[in-house]
Amino acid sequence: MPVPSTPAAPARVRHRWAAVAGLLVLSPISAEYLIGYGESTGRPLELLAGLLILAPLYGTVAVLIRETTRRTGRGWPTILLLSAAFGVIQAGLVDQSLFDNEVDADGPDWATQALVTLIPGLGVDAASSLNYVGGHVIWSFAAPIAVVESCAPRIASRRWLGSVGVGVMVSLWALSAALVFNDTAADSTAGPAQLIGAAVVAVALIAAAFTVRPAKAPSSGRAPSWWLVGGVTGVVWCAHQLLPVTWAGVTVNVVAVVALGRLLLRWSRRRGWGRRHVLAVAGSALLVRAGLSFLVEPLGDDVDSTVKYAVNAAMLGGVAALLLMAAHRVRRQEPSAC
């Protein structure tokens, strides 16, 4: 007697939409909430309400970057370049914080520091640019993509959306970007040349994302333990966040990130490199971000310290639980991974 088959398609659709929803939420949480600098820290209802703007602004971009990369059969170099392009778009054209060089005298200590790395003639601060664009690449887009794909390893290399879903994501991003632009453009100090320059850089990064050469043939040797990968990347993420905002700090920061990129590229070509290593890179970024929140003074004067630390602890615990779940699912998918 034949065994009746169960429809698998609805389950696959649910898995894909669950992954999309997870990325829509994790991206803004990683970008804005983990570090705990906002005035709404300690007010859960305001944090949830903020996702109504931040999820369309950040999460849709993360979904579109990931979807475009997987649909075209490309890999992490494309994800990183597209993330950099949208980092420039977000900080340079949407909220235009890239060109905001005013010091907030009434803010916390970290917001009142004088800008000592201004680039002559461009009106752009090097340390701030590294923080804004680099922060988008790591915490707004790349790390959330890697973690959510690790939570759904069986569909990680497949498309998650149809044409209608992609259209919805584009529309949501355009609407949220317009709202943010309308709210910030009136106070922006950016000139036409700066905006044109940001647009040109963004277009160049997008073009590079689709012309980047595929990885070379696998190299000899075996990939290191994923624990080592996570430890090395964690040190660099800490340095990225803690180095002083001076020219020396910016130089060390750039050198460290470039060196890490080259090292990860070399390791990724070795035998045994897998999703667990990618999760270690992304997971260490989220853990560092959440851990350093205990050192950050939030904006505003009405954030109770006890509540702040409770929220920081809850965020850190949530990240740890998410990473444990992702590691468990990757282990089931790649039981022989080192």
pLDDT tens string, the chain, 338 residues long: the values are 444 444 456 767 888 999 999 999 999 999 999 998 887 877 778 888 999 999 999 999 999 999 999 999 999 999 999 999 999 999 999 999 888 876 655 555 545 566 788 888 888 899 989 999 999 999 999 999 999 999 999 999 999 999 999 999 999 999 999 999 988 877 788 888 999 999 999 999 999 999 987 666 677 789 999 999 999 999 999 999 999 989 999 999 999 999 999 999 999 999 999 999 999 999 999 999 999 999 988 876 677 888 889 999 999 999 999 999 999 999 988 765 44
Distances (CA, A) of 144 to 20, 64, 219, 335: 11, 13, 28, 23
Q: Measure the CA–CA gap between 264 and 293, rounded to whole angstroms.
A: 26
Q: Measure the CA–CA gap between 106 and 86, rounded to whole angstroms.
A: 30
Q: What's the whole-model pTM score? A: 0.91
The structure tokens listed for 85 are 């392009």
> Under the phi-then-psi rule, with left for phi > 0, alpha for psi from -120 to 50, and beta for the rest, what region is 2?
beta
> What per-residue confidence (pLDDT) applies to 332?
87
Contacts 24+ apart (CB under 8 A), 229-236: 229/264, 229/267, 229/277, 229/280, 229/281, 230/280, 230/281, 230/283, 230/284, 231/284, 232/260, 232/263, 233/260, 233/264, 233/280, 233/281, 233/284, 233/285, 234/284, 234/285, 234/287, 234/288, 236/260
